[in-house]
Chains A and B, each alone.
Chain A
Amino acid sequence: DTGVSQDPRHKITKRGQNVTFRCDPISEHNRLYWYRQTLGQGPEFLTYFQNEAQLEKSRLLSDRFSAERPKGSFSTLEIQRTEQGDSAMYLCASSPWGVSYEQYFGPGTRLTVT
């Protein structure tokens, strides 16, 4: 399967701990997006990478959040000093170049902060 993969699929952590998620996009896709989805809501945009450059960040991305995409391949999303409000599904999507191309989503990482 050559779709978008995310690791881990589930993460339970205690409040105050740091967590890191990984996303492997479809190999030829140079666009990568992170979204967050809470229960009963649609996904919300967090940040966008074009190759290795982080070109857009949502106001939702507080200074406890950092994302990277070294070498324009896989991406990581780190949350420092987690809070209970960070509990959500974190989704990664990738797409090829172009204004109308669809985004391909991964299965997501479910984060639970206790």
Chain B
Amino acid sequence: DAKTTQPNSMESNEEEPVHLPCNHSTISGTDYIHWYRQLPSQGPEYVIHGLTSNVNNRMASLAIAEDRKSSTLILHRATLRDAAVYYCILRDGTTNAGGTSYGKLTFGQGTILTVHP
């Protein structure tokens, strides 16, 4: 699985934007970029994903570099509830010999986001 690199930790103030970077220089053409987050004592939660174009949803925005070797998760206005570990994951979109992609997620260490009131 292609690997991602994220900063160990980042800090933000409440109601300010947060830009969480991720490097994935060995990304292949069929890898989707997924972001999940994990709040304390909970299972991971899907945030957003993209392939080539920038994506927006109600939770966040995903900016993908033109060469796809890096991406940035943008939280437009951080709240205390956004304090979590954020994981950037490359998910293989190819099919295997049986014609199916199993889609397992390979998590790294993630970025611990602290939000100050």
A interface residues (Cβ-Cβ under 8 A, vs B): 4, 31, 33, 35, 41-45, 48, 50, 55-56, 91, 93, 95, 99-108
A43 CB contact (under 8 Å) in B46, B102, B105: B105
Please give the distance in Å from A5's CB to the nearest CB on chain B.
11
Residues of A within 8 A of B104 (CB): 33, 45, 48, 56
B43 touches A93 (CB 8 A): yes
Structural contact, B93 and A99, CB atoms closer than 8 A: yes
**Given known contacts A41-B109, A42-B110, A100-B32, A95 and B43 CB-to-CB distance under 8 angstroms:** no
**Contacting A91 at CB < 8 Å: which of B43, B91, B109?**
B43
Instruction: Name the one of B32, B46, B51 contacting A103, with C-beta atoms under 8 angstroms.
Output: B46
From B34, B102, B108, A102 is in contact (CB under 8 Å) with B34
**Contact flags (1/0) for B94-117 with A, using CB distance below 8 Å?**
010000111111111110000000
Say which residue of B43, B102, B105 sits within 8 Å of A56 (CB atoms). Answer: B102
Question: What is the bound-complex CA distance between A100 and B44, given in angstroms?
Answer: 17
**Which A residues lie within 8 Å of B107 (CB)?**
35, 42-44
Q: Which residues of A contact B101 (CB under 8 A)?
A: 99
Q: Which A residue's beta carbon lies closest to that of B1?
A: A45
- Extra contacts, 5 of them, besides A42-B107, A99-B32, A99-B103 (Cβ < 8 A), are A42-B85, A43-B44, A45-B104, A100-B91, A108-B43
With both beta carbons as reference points, the residue of chain A lying nearest to B35 in the complex is identified as: A102
Interface pair B44/A91, CB less than 8 Å apart? yes
Nearest CB in chain A to that of B30: its residue: A99
Contact of A107 among B42, B46, B100 (CB under 8 A): B42
* C-alpha gap A93/B105 in the complex (Å): 10
